[in-house]
Amino acid sequence: MPIHNADIAAIFEEIADLLEIDNANPFRIRAYRNAARAMQTLGRDARDLVEQGEDLSELPGIGKELAAKIAEIVHTGHCQALEKLRKQTAPGLPDLLKIPGLGPKRVRALYHDLDIHSAEQLLRAAHDHRLQELPGFGPKTEANILENLQSHVTHEQRLKLAVAAQYADTLVDYLHKMKSVNKIVIAGSYRRCKETVGDLDILVTAKAGGPVMKHLAEYDEIAQVVSKGTTRATVVLRNQLQVDVRVVEPVSFGAALHYFTGSKAHNIAIRRRAQKRGLKINEYGVFKGDKRMAGDTEESVYKAVGLPWIAPELREDRGEIEAAENKRLPKLVELEDIRGDLHAHTRATDGNNTLEEIAKAAQDRGWSYVAITEHSKRLTIAHGLDKKRLLKQIEQIDHLNDKSSGITVLKGIEVDILEDGKLDLPDDVLAKLDLVIGAVHSKFHLSRAKQTERILKAMDHPHFTLLAHPTGRLIQQREPYDVDMGRIIHQASQRGCYLELNCHPERLDLLDTYCQMAKEAGVLVSINSDAHSLADFENLKYGIGQARRGWLEAKDVLNTRTLTQLQRLLKKTM
C-alpha cells in the first residue's frame, strides 16, 4: 500500500506525543516533531526517495535514525518504535490527544492526577468541575475542553486540505493510468479550496464506465467498497476518507462539475435563477422541458442563467451571484502573481536552511525578493534572536545582497507582541530593518478586550509593518484567540500597516471572511509561507486558494508588488 508523507508525519507526531506523556527527553521529543514537520512540507514523496535509494538523512530535520524509520514505514506501513510506545502507554490516552486543547502535558496530568484515560471519564470530570483543581487548568480551560469534547466527532471527520491533497493526487494519478480515461476533476469542497475536506467527489469522462469502476476497486489504498455500479462508486480509503467517483458523459460534464462542486447554497441560488427563466438545472444539464440547453461546460451552465463563469472558490453564496450579474466579479489572485515571500526563517532560529539557501530557492522560483524574519528572543524554544544576534544577521544580509544579483534579501524580524502590547526588541534595532512582523505567540486566552487592545497597541508602534497569522488558530488543534478582527482591520487601515495570510496548511490564517473584510477596508494582505524549510514555499498554493476564497485580487496583495513598489510601501510603515 502506498505510504504518504502525511502517514509518516502522523506516526512521528504520535511518537512525540507518547514520549511527552511519558516525560521523555525534550530533545528527543523535539526531534520527532521536527521530523513530522519535515514530512508534512517535503516537496517530494518520501516513498519515491526511498525507492530511488536517496540518503534521507540529508533532509532537513532527519538524521540517520529517523531516516531508517522512514524507510521502515515505507516498506512495512508500520513503525516498531511506535508499536512499543503504544504498549507502554495506558490505553485511551492516545485518543485523548485528538481532542483540541489537550496536549501531551495536560493528558499526562489528567492521567496521573485524576486517573482519566478515556473521553467518557474526561466528560464526567469536566461536568463535575474536577479539572479546574489541576494546576494550569482553571474554569475557562475546563469549559473549553468540555466544548471541544462535544465538537470532537465533527472535527475528526474532516482532513486538512493539504493532507487530503496527498491522497487525492495519488488516486487521480492511479485513475489516469487507464487509457480509456479522458478528463478527471476533483470537485466538492476540495475544488473550492476549503481549509478542511470531508470527502472527495471525483468526476471522470471515459470511453466506457465499467472498466473505470473495476480499476478503482483494485486500488490498494481502499479499505472498503461501499457501493459499485457501472458509472459510479463509493469507496473508503485506509485513512477513512470517503471517495465518490462518477463517470460522466461529455455532454453533461459541465453540469455535473457545477453540481458536485457546490456549495449547496450557491447551487440553490443558481437553480432559482434558472426556474425564473423556465429552466431546470441538475447534474445532467440545463433543460427547457425535455430539451437540453446547456451542460457540456460550466461556462454554458452559467451562461444559460445570464451569468459569466464564477470561480469555484467564490461559490459560497456570499455575494458572488450579484457581483457576476453586475459584472463586478474580482479577477482573483494567482500563484504567478506573487513576486516574493515576506516571512521566512533560517537556521539562525528554528529554520532548516541557511540564508544563502533561502535566497537561492527564492531566486530559482523567479522571485524578486524574500524577507528573512527570524523569531525574537521571547520565543526561546525557537532560539529567538536578541539584539546582538539580529544586528549580526543584518550585516550578513547586507553582505549577501552586495555580492548577489537577481534577488534582494529583505531584513526583517518576527517579533513577539508581549502581553502589554510592547514589542520584544528595542526600537534602535527595529529601525534598521526593512519590515517588522508582529506576532502573538503566548497568552492566547486573554479576554476579547485585552487581546484586542494588546494587538492594537502593538500596531501603533512606529516600526510595526505586518501582523502575522492574525487569529492564532491552528486548524483542528487550536481555536482562534478571542479578538475583535473588525477593530484590527480598521486599525490597519488607519495606521497604514498590513495583515498576513499565513499559508502553512495548519494555519491558513487570515480566514477567508477576514480577507474579504480587509479588501473592503483597503488593507493589503501579504500571502506568506512562514517557511522553515525550502519545501515550505510550496505551501503558497494553499494560501492562494484561501486568498481567492476571500475575493482577493493581485492588487489587494502586498507581495505582488515589484521590489521598488514594495519598498515604497514598507517605508510608509517604518
The CATH number of residue 20's host domain is 1.10.150.110
In order, the DSSP letters of 110-145 are HHHHH---SHHHHHHHHHTT-GGGSTT-HHHHHHHH
Q: Burial of 240 by CB count in 10 Å (0-12 exposed, 13-18 middle, 19+ buried)?
A: exposed
Residue 88 included in any domain: yes
155 has a pLDDT exceeding 60: no
153 has a pLDDT exceeding 60: no
**pLDDT classification of 196: cutoffs 50, 70, 90:** very high
415 has a pLDDT exceeding 90: yes
State the pLDDT at residue 22: 87
Whether 256 and 111 share a structural domain: no
| CATH number, position 223 | 3.30.460.10
**How does DSSP classify residue 56?**
G
Whether 224 and 76 share a structural domain: no
101 has a pLDDT exceeding 80: no
Q: Burial of 123 by CB count in 10 Å (0-12 exposed, 13-18 middle, 19+ buried)?
A: middle
> Is residue 459 within 8 Å of 492, Cβ to Cβ?
yes
Residue 330 included in any domain: no
Whether 144 and 164 share a structural domain: no
State the pLDDT at residue 163: 92
State the pLDDT at residue 353: 92
Residue 554 included in any domain: yes
Number of H helices, E strands in the chain: 24, 17
Of 55-59, 171-175, 463-467, 557-561, which gets the smallest average pLDDT? 55-59
Rounded to whole angstroms, the Cα distance separating 299 from 297 reads: 5
Whether 149 and 180 share a structural domain: no
Rounded to whole angstroms, the maximal C-alpha distance in the chain is 77
Residue 85 included in any domain: yes
State the pLDDT at residue 150: 67
Residue 119 included in any domain: yes
207 has a pLDDT exceeding 80: no
State the pLDDT at residue 460: 96
394 has a pLDDT exceeding 90: yes
Cell of 400: 549577501
Residue 517 included in any domain: yes
- Torsion 557-560-563-568 (CA) sign: negative
State the pLDDT at residue 151: 64
Whether 377 and 515 share a structural domain: yes
Whether 402 and 438 share a structural domain: yes
Whether 381 and 505 share a structural domain: yes
Q: Assign 343 to helix, strand or coil.
A: strand
> Is residue 358 within 8 Å of 369, Cβ to Cβ?
no
> Is residue 205 within 8 Å of 248, Cβ to Cβ?
yes
Whether 150 and 181 share a structural domain: no
218 has a pLDDT exceeding 60: yes
Alpha helices in 277-425 (DSSP H): 298-304, 320-325, 355-364, 387-403
Whether 285 and 299 share a structural domain: yes
**pLDDT classification of 3: cutoffs 50, 70, 90:** confident
Whether 241 and 280 share a structural domain: no
Domain count, the chain: 4
Of 182-196, 201-215, 354-368, which gets the smallest average pLDDT? 201-215
**pLDDT classification of 222: cutoffs 50, 70, 90:** very high
Whether 266 and 235 share a structural domain: no
| CATH number, position 383 | 3.20.20.140
**pLDDT classification of 121: cutoffs 50, 70, 90:** confident
Domain boundary among 325, 346, 374: 325
State the pLDDT at residue 1: 61
Domain span at residue 321?
252-325
State the pLDDT at residue 208: 61
* Cβ count near 442 (within 10 Å): 13
Residue 512 included in any domain: yes
Cell of 90: 495506558
> Is residue 401 within 8 Å of 416, Cβ to Cβ?
no
pTM score: 0.81
210 has a pLDDT exceeding 70: no
| Average of per-residue pLDDT across 479-508 | 94
| CATH number, position 270 | 3.30.210.10
Q: Burial of 276 by CB count in 10 Å (0-12 exposed, 13-18 middle, 19+ buried)?
A: exposed
Cell of 358: 533561502
> Is residue 536 within 8 Å of 357, Cβ to Cβ?
no
State the pLDDT at residue 103: 83
State the pLDDT at residue 147: 79
| Average of per-residue pLDDT across 452-479 | 94
Whether 297 and 438 share a structural domain: no
373 has a pLDDT exceeding 90: yes
CA distances from 461 to 125, 212, 494 (A): 45, 61, 13
302-352: pLDDT as tens digits: 999 999 999 999 999 989 999 999 999 999 999 999 999 999 999 999 998
Rounded to whole angstroms, the Cα distance separating 401 from 407 reads: 8
Domain boundary among 111, 132, 156: 156
List phi, psi (to 5°) of 260. Answer: -85, -10
Domain boundary among 272, 305, 325: 325
Instruction: Round the average pLDDT of the chain to a whole number and report it.
Output: 91
What is the percentage of the chain residues whose pLDDT exceeds 90?
68
